[in-house]
Amino acid sequence: EVQLLESGGGLVQPGGSLRLSCAASGFTFSSYALTWVRQAPGKGLEWVSGISGSGSSTYYAASAKGRFTISRDNSKNTLYLQMNSLRAEDTAVYFCAKGVDSGSYYWLDPWGQGTLVTVSS
């Protein structure tokens, strides 16, 4: 069974940093692209970032570019999202989701349970 388990969320002050992790199991980790998607409280889904299976290609939403860095450690079956210069509007549940193959995530399935990031003073 494919499983994704996010961790690392919490309360952080504006301007602070946080690193999210997503531990994967049940599939050949390096063979699949992965993404981060977030959902602000009471709002819809917003794609944040994606990474290829090898980690050589990364992509960001405009809201994340320059502040967030996606990476992966294929030896540890873990996906990361380093978030810097956090703002109140980054407050959201962050989900990781698995793509279709090593280079594509046009379909996201499955999703993890999410981890809550709260940016507040």
The contact set with another protein (CB under 8 A) reads 35, 37, 44-47, 50, 57, 59, 61, 95, 105-114
For the CB of residue 107, give the shortest distance to another protein in the complex, in Å.
5
Beta strand ranges found along the chain (DSSP E):
3-7, 10-12, 18-25, 34-39, 45-51, 58-60, 68-73, 78-83, 92-98, 115-119
- Whose Cβ is closer to another protein: residue 106's or residue 121's? 106
Cβ-based nearer residue to another protein, 27 or 47:
47
Smallest gap, in angstroms, from Cβ of residue 119 to another protein? 21
As measured in angstroms, the least distance from the Cβ of 103 to another protein is 9
Toward another protein, which CB reaches closer, 48 or 86? 48
Please state, in angstroms and rounded to a whole number, the distance separating the CA atoms of residues 80 and 73. Answer: 8
CB nearer to another protein: pick between 1 and 121: 1
Least gap, CB of 106 to another protein (angstroms): 5
* CA–CA dist 77, 74 (Å, integer): 5
What CA–CA distance (Å, rounded) separates 105 from 100?
A: 5
Whole-number Cα distances in Å, 45 to 15, 87, 93: 23, 18, 10
